Amino acid sequence: MNKSLFKKVLANPLSKAGFIIIICVFLLAMLAPLITPYDPDDINVKVILLGPSWQHWMGTDGLGRDVLSRMLFGSRISLLVGLVAVGISTAIGILLGAIAGYYRGWVDTFIMRLVDVMLSIPSFFLILAVIAFLTPSIINVMIVIGLTSWMGVTRLVRAEFLSLTEREFVQASRTLGAKDARLIFTHLLPNSLTPIIVSSVLGVAGAVLMESGLSFLGLGVQAPQASWGNILTDGKDYIQFAWWLSLFPGLAILITVLGYNLLGEGLRDALDPRSGSSK
């Protein structure tokens, strides 16, 4: 991100807020061992379901574990799942979208019909069906979310390639004898990065929500490893008198997803020359 683009993103108050939120979440996740003295898996029956206090800022859960430490270390899991899953889906989407948009014909038809079939199946239920046949784990969650979320990127990349292949600079390179690989990786793909970057940033928010939902249902990250979703699961049995077990992870998910969405919208305005705010 060059300086001018960085200034454009920060010029928008909403995208600036999203950027600050994401930076803060990452810093909290990375500095977790320095922020809290408690082990997130340390059970202490003497402080079971203790409310927020100076000793335990976010209280304790049903096993006496410090909620703040589980929130901080759990943020690493939630963010890791989001980033890796989006990386997988983006790579698949770029590959299929580039092939469909560049070669067209029956290849394009086949890939787009595959996209239509995948989009006709509700993503969450598709992921639930796949996870049900696998051992719930962080690796399986990342892979499954990535393998079921590539359709939007595919359509975006295909649309960009269909438009760019008709441009003069691409036609001139083809006339000069440039091979397909050079055209795709030198001319077409770099000029298609705007929707890819925006889609990836927004996709992280969706992946974080998906992981939280799966973990809440017991099909994602498994105990004792902490994630925001299974912290919520622990809190549902005590929601009437231990409100902090549901409030804090819920707020963390809300704020993180909001941050990525705000940053994504800001990047869309800054990167898209057709956007009114970037003129």
Interatomic CA distance for residues 164 and 183, integer angstroms: 10
- The Cα–Cα gap between 142 and 260 comes to 18
Give the pair of three-digit tokens for residue 163: 């438009």
Q: What are phi and psi of 134, to 5 degrees?
A: -115, 165
Contacts of 245 (CB under 8 A, 6+ apart): 59, 61, 62, 67, 231, 232, 234, 235, 238, 239
Q: Rounded to two decimals, what is the model's pTM?
A: 0.85
The answer to whether residues 197 and 265 touch, using CB atoms and an 8 Å cutoff, is no
Digitized pLDDT (tens) for each residue of the chain, 279 residues in all: 556 667 777 777 888 889 999 999 999 999 998 998 898 888 888 888 888 989 889 989 888 899 999 999 989 888 888 899 999 999 999 999 999 998 888 999 999 999 999 888 887 787 877 777 777 778 888 888 898 889 999 999 999 988 888 787 777 877 777 787 888 888 788 888 888 888 899 999 988 888 888 888 877 777 778 888 888 888 888 888 888 998 999 999 999 999 999 988 888 877 765 554 444
* C-beta of residue 101 within 8 angstroms of C-beta of residue 157: yes
Backbone angles phi, psi at 225, to 5 degrees: -65, 130
Rounded to 10°, the helix 228-236/67-103 angle is: 130
CB atoms within 10 A of CB 34: 8
Please list the alpha-helical segments (H only) found in the chain.
3-11, 13-30, 32-35, 67-103, 105-120, 123-132, 138-147, 151-164, 168-175, 180-182, 193-216, 228-236, 244-271
CB 276 within 8 A of CB 270: no
| pLDDT in the model for residue 254 | 93
Which are the contacts of 184, defined by CB distance < 8 A and separation ≥ 6? 98, 102
Residues with Cβ < 8 Å from 263, sequence gap 6 or more? 9, 15, 18, 19, 21, 22, 201
- Classify burial at 137, counting beta carbons within 10 Å of its beta carbon; exposed 0-12, middle 13-18, buried 19 or more: middle
pLDDT at 278: 41
Do 151 and 118 form a contact (C-beta atoms < 8 A)?
yes
Backbone angles phi, psi at 66, to 5 degrees: -70, 120
Q: CA 82, CA 54: separation in Å to the nearest integer? A: 32
Judged by DSSP in three states, 252 sits in helix
The per-residue pLDDT for 5 is 64
Structure-token match 């969706």, residue found: 206
Spell out the domain ranges in the chain. 3-278
**In CATH, what number does 3-278 get?**
1.10.3720.10
